Chain A
Amino acid sequence: MRLGSLFDLWDALGSLVGKHVAQVILLVIVGLVAYILRQTWKLISWMIAYYRRLSRARRDVGRVVTPMGPREGKGLWLADSPISLPRSYDYPTAVDASRILIVANAKGGVGKTTVCTSLAARFSEILPKPILLIDLDFQASASSMSIANKKDWLPPEGVDSRATYLISGDLKPTDVAGETQHATGATSIKIVTSYYDLAQAENRIMIDWLLSDRKTDIRFTLAELLHSNVVRNAFSVIIIDCPPRLTTAAIQALAAGTHLLIPTRLEEPSTEAVITFVQQVETFRRAGLCPYIKHIGVVATMVDANQNPEGVKLRLKDALKNPLEAPGGGGGDVTQLLDCEIPQSAKFRETSGKGITYLVMGQGSGTERVRTPIQALAERVKKEMKL
């Protein structure tokens, strides 16, 4: 359409509806065009940003091409490494002042929960402030083992478990400091319980983070909460029972933890898993996820008096000494096998469902075989953590 035709159209419209009305109509048309252009621009911007986030997500979890062909990359949680520490507070100072024990191993069935609950029970006897036990395994073994009556800790219908709210960043420091759920027979052991909803929460948080703008680093959600003055001052020590995988919750626990204890059974598959786990923690430490975490050591559990474990222990020590920098480096000489050992005992089985074994087994025969090693381990951990 030529410019002259536009003027003709304007004159025709003016003569038809009057000049003022024509001006109003023109203004409306101009406004509509501007609005459509603006919305289109917003949509295009959003699509560009989404495409960029999607590309980044694919890069973070994607395979890398090597001369040998494609292989899996370094994994989602090492994205953006070296990882920047939170800027909202002084992370190094807070870690130094906090006492958060991570009990973890990427292998299941090695006695993590037994060690956690036993230590919590012993610490409740000898430390002045309450102990906070956080169950981050959605199978909820620590919750179930610590609280005899299931009705007392299972989340009511329509409500998620406390651990879900914890890792989602829904809880305030005062909420954590005021936890009311406690172990059977020990009001000074406060428990953050978990349940199967935690598994969904972990997936949700991971996918959110994968696709979001990452203005907040969810790897440090738990750290920010537990490192707060309010939480720090409320408890003598915080013990976290980690799941047997490096899940979202486990990653948050590593970022929050100050000390690491690794339980293991004294048999070949378990000790091999220890080496891999130690190496992975070391990879995370070097990437900046948990730069100040201290290794307390590896504790043998379910030690059978019939078994001669010296050979297995020796091979574990060999692999732990193997420097990380060496070709195929092993444990990296960053941790050690502790002298304290938790024995295999029928007491753990007999007290199942009644509360923490250490607390509920009473004073009968055979109890000292369980009590004494737990006390020795607690003493060692207390010394290492300067509790």
Chain B
Amino acid sequence: MKGREFAQLLVEFSDVLSDERAALCRAFLPIFEAAPTSNVVKISNVLSSVQAPGHGNGPRLQEMIGLLSALKRLLVRGGAKKQVLDDLDAVSTVLGPFEHVPTETFASAAIERLSEHALPGKSRVSAIRDDLVQSYLQRLEQALSDEMHFAVVFDELKNDASVKASEAKKLSRAFAKETAKSRGAALDLIWGRHAALMGSRARQRANTGRTAA
């Protein structure tokens, strides 16, 4: 389960809680929103190394652990997947030693810790050839509504050995607004935007001048 999904689970759960408990849930969930694409287990590992002061006001993590336990019972009855339950267990376990820490204090410290862990990733991103990405982005956007022209640019992109997986992924994020895990998947997403437009045109051509009335 990704951090984003776990955060959404807590949002949905907070909808059925009393105002006070919902506020506690909302104070806790920014931890997972801060690492939306990271695995919950990985986030939990980072949480175990958080240095949070035990003093401060507000509800303690102990209450949050209780809410997570209630959520787990609810999900068990609902027949939730084992992975979701395991993720809940992982989070509850890692919170155990911090049960007397105020939730908000812990959340702030955890977000800071998560951002430190993300730093190595950022340095990798900086190696991407932005000029190459921008050049292809511009050409693909220009060719988007021209079936033949787009195919030419796309073939060039596909066969360009200087476009590595990182460049292709960044290009797919910029051009197709979707994230890919590999070069091939990124190219599929890029072609997918073009194919969707061509598909839309084909449907309209098949329907020209007629209505479904």
Contact = CB atoms under 8 A, between A and B. Distances in A.
Would you list the 8 A-B pairs with minimal beta carbon distance, nearest first? A328-B201, A366-B15, A246-B213, A310-B177, A365-B22, A328-B205, A311-B178, A319-B200
Contact of A327 (B8, B196, B199, B205): B205
B197 A318 contact: yes
Nearest to B15: A366
Contact of B204 (A73, A247, A276, A347): A276
A106 B211 CA distance: 11
5 contacts: A74-B209, A272-B203, A276-B204, A322-B201, A369-B15
A246 B207 CA distance: 15
A308 interface: yes
B178 A330 contact: no
Interface of B: 4-5, 8, 11-12, 14-19, 22, 144-145, 176-179, 189, 192-193, 196-197, 199-205, 207-213
A77 B213 contact: yes
Given A315-B192, A319-B197, A365-B18, 16 more contacts: A78-B211, A245-B213, A246-B211, A272-B199, A279-B204, A283-B209, A284-B211, A308-B179, A318-B196, A319-B200, A326-B201, A327-B205, A328-B203, A328-B204, A346-B15, A365-B22
A76 interface: yes
Interface in A294-345: 305-306, 308, 310-311, 313-315, 318-319, 322, 326-330, 345
Interface of A: 72-78, 106, 245-247, 250-251, 268, 272, 275-276, 279-280, 283-284, 305-306, 308, 310-311, 313-315, 318-319, 322, 326-330, 345-347, 364-366, 369
A251 to B, nearest CB: 6
Nearest to B16: A346
B163 to A, nearest CB: 20
Given A75-B211, A251-B213, A366 B193 contact: no
Nearest to B206: A328
Contacts of A272: 199-200, 203
Contacts of A247: 213
B18 A276 contact: no
A328 B202 contact: yes
A78 to B, nearest CB: 6
Nearest to A328: B201
Contact of A315 (B17, B193, B205): B193
Given A314-B176, A365-B22, A74 B211 contact: yes
A256 B50 CA distance: 63
B208 to A, nearest CB: 8
Contacts of B189: 311
